[in-house]
């Protein structure tokens, strides 16, 4: 079946603007993760959803970042008052219902965000 | 706090050479360990993972990794690399209890010369 998809693939915005990044997980996957990857770094955990609820949002850097998953499928990462330091690739991953963190995460292609 | 250290940022090998990429993690509890790979132009994908049992884990494409608990290490190996192994490799760890927050290393870029 289809893999994880993310839209848009690229987003250019101006400092101070609001952006939304969308993730469509693999059908049937109840777990969804958001990561941020800066140049030369590995993915940095932002938030994890189990179903509709955020089970762990400890990676969100500040209150400008927020994510939702209202129906337990598609998720939206929202960034308010964007700053140049928010420029990065935002990755989404999904997995089957988690046991003890052992499930394979399937990654999407990412959204490349550039804040001017 | 958990952390993952990958020793080499860039590795260049000739085809048929042996590969070993170092990974050390910092965490006091029981962990799950992963290696992910990103081929040029493709998504991150799982190479192999370790939870328990035999500390020598075999993955796809002839890769294997060995968990050495006393050294907090999970090094990736391949006896003979191919040009198609050119990619970026990421080591990752999460805690066995409530292990949803996966921590990734900074990655190692491998270039294999044909």
pLDDT tens digits, one per residue of A16-65: 999 999 999 999 999 999 999 999 899 999 999 998 988 889 999 999 99
Q: Among A1-10, A12-21, B13-22, which stretch is predicted with the lowest mean pLDDT?
A: A1-10
Mutant choice from B8, B38, B94, B100 vs A, greatest count of A C-beta within 10 A: B100
Q: How far is CA B107 from CA A44, A84, B103, B104, in A?
A: 12, 24, 12, 8
pLDDT band at A99 (very low <50, low <70, confident <90, very high): low
Cβ contact B101–A55 (<8 Å): no
Taking an 8 Å cut-off on Cβ atoms, the answer to whether B94 and A101 are in contact is yes
B54 vs A98 pLDDT, higher one: B54
Dist CA A44 CA A36 (whole Å): 5
For A107, name the nearest residue in chain B, comparing CA atoms only. Answer: B44
Q: Is A108 near chain B, with CB under 8 Å?
A: yes
CA-wise closest residue to B106 among B28, B15, B20, B38: B38
ω into A106 cis (within 30 of 0): no
Chain A residues near residue B101 by CB distance under 8 angstroms: 45, 48, 56, 58-59
pLDDT of residue B85: 97
What pLDDT is recorded for position B73? Answer: 96
Does pLDDT of A9 surpass 90? Answer: yes
Are the C-beta atoms of A116 and A13 separated by less than 8 Å? yes
Residues of B in contact with A31 (CB under 8 A): 100
């Amino acid at each position: 079946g289809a893999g994880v998809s993310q839209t848009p693939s690229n987003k250019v915005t101006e400092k101070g603007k609001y952006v939304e990044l969308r993730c469509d997980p693999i059908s049937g996957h109840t777990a969804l993760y958001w990561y941020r990857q800066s140049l030369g770094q590995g993915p940095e955990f932002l938030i994890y959803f189990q179903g509709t609820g955020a089970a762990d949002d400890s990676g969100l850097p500040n209150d400008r970042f927020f994510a939702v998953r209202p129906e337990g499928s598609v998720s939206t990462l929202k960034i308010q008052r964007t700053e140049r330091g928010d420029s990065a690739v935002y990755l989404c991953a999904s997995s089957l219902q988690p046991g003890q963190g052992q499930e394979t995460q399937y990654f999407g292609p990412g959204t490349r965000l550039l804040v001017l | 706090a958990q952390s993952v250290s990958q020793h080499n940022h860039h590795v260049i090998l000739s085809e048929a050479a042996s590969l070993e990429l170092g990974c050390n993690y910092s965490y006091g509890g029981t962990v799950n360990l992963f290696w992910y790979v990103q081929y040029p132009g493709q998504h991150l994908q799982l190479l192999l993972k370790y939870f328990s049992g035999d500390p020598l884990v075999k993955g796809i494409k002839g890769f294997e990794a060995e968990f050495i608990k006393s050294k907090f290490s999970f090094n990736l190996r391949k006896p003979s690399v191919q040009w198609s192994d050119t990619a970026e490799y990421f080591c990752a760890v999460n805690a066995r209890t409530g292990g949803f927050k996966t921590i990734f290393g900074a990655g190692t870029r491998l270039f294999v010369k044909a």
